[in-house]
Structure 1
């Protein structure tokens, strides 16, 4: 099983969630959202056993299914160790709109990708590259650092835009300070 995700994997995940949740839009967050705007991104950026996603209608679905969480439904049917995982070599990690720390207004800057499903179009939605970087800066673990460095190496980030969006994002001061120091180190390269 390959750990390098492809646009076909992303489309498969979108179709699976669109079918289950009867929705015409699926949100992809996390590292594999890069596939929407850069399907042949460097391997390091596409190396993952999972695609983090949720249907746009997750709240309505949960209201129609009292006691059930959309993310848990995704994990049960498409998550780690599921038949989907075994069949396709990757799994879908069920998340929701509160999983990633994204800057205010990120929904106005999303990237869209049309995915065909039985003659209809489902829209895959992902944060802009700068907004995704902000979410990774808010966590800033080793994996996130490597991801951001690789992105900057091949497609230089607008450091000022990222810093401005980071400043508007609700994170603690220590994290913000570390993230800004890391961003400054990228600007110096």
Structure 2
């Protein structure tokens, strides 16, 4: 398996978007998780692009599932493009099949979303991802060490408007535990 680097690139993003758009016969793929940063900030710091996976789902996942009642889009992605798949072996990264409930994103994130046009087999398709502030909020919910590193790297490269991030976090109605941990962490950012 060709995993010489775990730094994801725009070429990787485009490859993932093309694969999902082609397989699911759609013109839009939603990217969430850390590699969503590639959609609006392709040259983000390497630490923010360090991952062996891209979390994604086709925008027509529910319609596709209605036409394939015995299948789940996220499972289909995992089998065909996921960990240890032929796609993973060929490209050195995999697509983690997720859905619209995977990341805890603030209300209205789609109106603030960033997009990227991708050439795909003679047509144009799109990658849609949460804007940076919304992506940061999604990382504040689990707030694992890798999420903290991601947020710190983001803030160091392009300082966050902490007040906006705090409001977006509040809009997600987090549990008191999540809210308190996130606020304490945000207050450490300088």
TM-score, length-scaled by structure 2: 0.97
Could you tell me how far apart the structure 2 residues matched to 1:82 and 1:20 are? 15
Gaps of 5+ in 1: none
Q: CA deviation at 1:12?
A: 0.1
* Aligned position for 1:60: 63
In the alignment, is residue 31 of structure 1 matched against residue 34 of structure 2? yes
Deviation at 1:82, TM superposition (A): 0.3
Out of 145, 158, 165, the position equivalent to 1:142 is 145
Give the Cα–Cα distance (whole angstroms) in 1 for the partners of residues 145 and 19 of structure 2.
31
Instruction: Note if 1:84 corresponds to 2:87.
Output: yes
Among 3, 6, 17, the residue aligned to 1:3: 6
Give the secondary-structure state (helix, strand or coil) at the position aligned to 1:48. coil
Give the Cα separation in 1 of the matches to 2:187 and 2:115: 30
Partner secondary structure for residue 184 of structure 2: helix
1:21-51 deviation line (CA, Å, top 9, x unaligned): 0000000000001111111111111000000
Shift of 1:170: 2.8
C-alpha separation between the residues in 1 aligned to 2:38 and 2:121? 22
* Structure 1 position 20 matched with structure 2 position 23: yes
Please give the TM-score of this superposition, normalised by the length of structure 1: 0.97
> Across the two proteins, how many residue pairs are aligned to each other?
187
Distance 1:41 1:104 in 2: 25
Q: Following TM superposition, where does structure 1 have runs of at least 4 consecutive aligned residues deviating by more than 4 angstroms?
A: none
- How far 1:184 moved relative to its partner? 1.2
Unmatched tracts of structure 2, length 5 or more: none
